[in-house]
Every structure is written in structure tokens, then in C-alpha cells.
Amino acid sequence: MEYTTLGNTGMQVSRICLGCMTFGLDSSEKYEWTLSEAESIEILEHAIDLGITFFDTSNSYSWGDSERVLGSVLSEYDRDEMVVATKVYNDPAKDAHPNASGLSRKTIEQEVEASLERLGMDTIDLYQIHRWDYDTPIEETVRALDDLVRRNKVRYVGASSMWAHQFQRALTTADRAGLERFATMQNHYSLVYREEEREMLPLCANEGVGVMAWSPLAKGFLARPHRETRATSRGETDSLLHERPYDAGGNIEINERVEELADRHGVSMAQIAIAWLLHTDCVTVPIVGTTSTDHLDDAVEALEIDLSSDDLAYLEEPYEPIPITGHE
């Protein structure tokens, strides 16, 4: 495993972040592809064996069960060695009350306590706003997050998927008021979705913000030949896979080139897609979600793949502008 510094925090994290959206308890029924508690535990323990120390979850994943499973597993290890990130904004339960979501002070304060309890922790390493809240002034949100840092409820704060002008406004608001600024941006980025290169990624580089790329495999589109995508369990049940423009523009050709390079290097398509992200200067860590230990092994082994400048150019060349997605 390789390790790197997360933005300007000075905090070291594994170069692969394990996304915990697929994890749940046996009672979880949010998604058809959510894993059982036993399956989730197996993957988490295997990740730790591989040297992964960075875990990303949310209060809304499996209606909070993802946090419970993660916290239960990490309680058996050295907590100081692990870096845990979770989020607030979306509904944390199927029948959540109105103040359970959003980024008001009330929501943030009650949801951080709920996340801490589920995780079984005193302090969350990275607390992220899951999306932009159009109903709450950003200064209220930033002040509420700053209070959590001062009270040692969280160590750092981050953001996820918004317009660059919104993120700049959030950073400026914090700076002008002397409040805790966002240390990370978790955004939608992969070989077949590169719209973030226009504004968000340059902004993050200029501000010293760490970048955590979600959906690095484009919900599986980059993990297998495009003609086979719909045959998978997720392909049959995950509506976002088909609503997002992964097969638009030149992305079918990119998928085919990923397949070609995978054959040439003797690795999987997923490993090529992850290796491309690891070769970029802008991404600190890709967030890799998985439903099997074998796929997790593949992700970690991608750290060893050396793509030439010609390989990178060959993968990138067919890309065409596509509609913005992921801010919803």
C-alpha cells in the first residue's frame, strides 16, 4: 500500500480509499446490491489487511447501517491508525423528519451526534457536506462545522459535488470569517466523466484542497466491456448507471480502449481505469467501492501498474464534453 497527504491537512491516508456505500446490516433494504453484515465485515477486514486505512461512508448509506458496520469492525483495530470520513445532507432514514436532512445548524449538530454514536467514536476525522444546500446560507453551515471542529467532534471538514463557484464561495466565506475551511472535495471523476477538469479541479489545486474521486469506475461502466454492463446485478437495478451519460460522446471508444490496454498489460479493465486516476496530478485518492475481496485486490494492485504517457494520451483522446451530472 502507498500513503499520501490529504490536501493541506498533513494527515496521511492510504492511496486507495474504501467506499462503504455497499455495506449494511442484514436488515438493510435500501439497495438490492447492498451487502449483508457478514459480507461487509469480510471486505472491511480484508481492506485493513491490505493496508487500507481510509474509509468513506455517510449517514445515509444503508440508512446509517454502513456507519454501524464500519464502526463495529474498526473497534477491533487501532483507531488512531484509521481515517474515517462520513457525510451529512441526505436523509439518514427511510421516513426521516424534515430536519434530518440539509445543512442547517440543527441538522448538522444532531446528525453528527447520530453518526458518532453509530460509528462508536468520539471524533470523526473528516466530516463532509454531501451536497450544496440551496435553502441554508453557506455562512450558517460553515459556522456550524467550525463549531464541531472547536468542540473536537470532527477534525477536518470537506465537501462533495457542487459547482465550482459554490465551492469558492464556501472557501471565501470561511476565510473572511476566520472559520475552518474545507480541506477536501469529493467529486465525480473518471475516464468517462472529466467535466470537473474545467473549473473544480483547477480550483482545488490552487486552494490546496485534497481531491477524492468518487465513482472512479463509472458505476461499473469501466470495469467490463460496454456490451456486458446491463447483464450485471447493478446494471439491472441501479438507475443512475443508465441516467448518467457514461456511454455518451466518445465514451464507448474509451471503454474499448480500456479493454484493449487491459489485455495488453495483462490486467483487468478496472485496474486500468483506477491506474489512470492514480497517474493524474489532481486526484489525491480514488474512492473504490466493491462487493468482493477479489475486486478489492484488483484495486490495490492497480498501484503497481505503470502507464506510459502514450497510454494516458490514448485513453484520454476520445473524450468529448458531456452533460454535467453528480451535483444532484
Element (H, E) at 3: strand 3-5
Write the single-letter amino acid at 288.
V
CB 88 within 8 Å of CB 112: yes
287 in Cβ contact with 216 (< 8 Å): yes
C-alpha cell of residue 287 = 474512492
The Cα–Cα gap between 24 and 60 comes to 11
And the C-alpha cell for 279? 497517474
Choosing from 61, 127, 156, 193, which is the catalytic residue? 61
DSSP-assigned letter for residue 181: P
101/107 Cα distance (integer angstroms): 6
Q: How large is the angle between the packed helices 37-49 and 65-74, nearest 10 degrees? A: 50
Q: Report which secondary-structure segment, H or E, holds 84.
A: strand 83-88
Our answer to whether residue 89 is catalytic in this structure is no
> Any bridge partners for residue 12, and if so which?
5
Fill in the DSSP letter of residue 282. Answer: S
* Of 202, 238, 184, the residue nearest 56 (C-alpha): 184
Name the grid cell of 129.
457536506
User: Considering only CA atoms, which of 87, 121, 43, 30 is closest in space to residue 288?
Assistant: 43
The residues assigned a catalytic role are 61
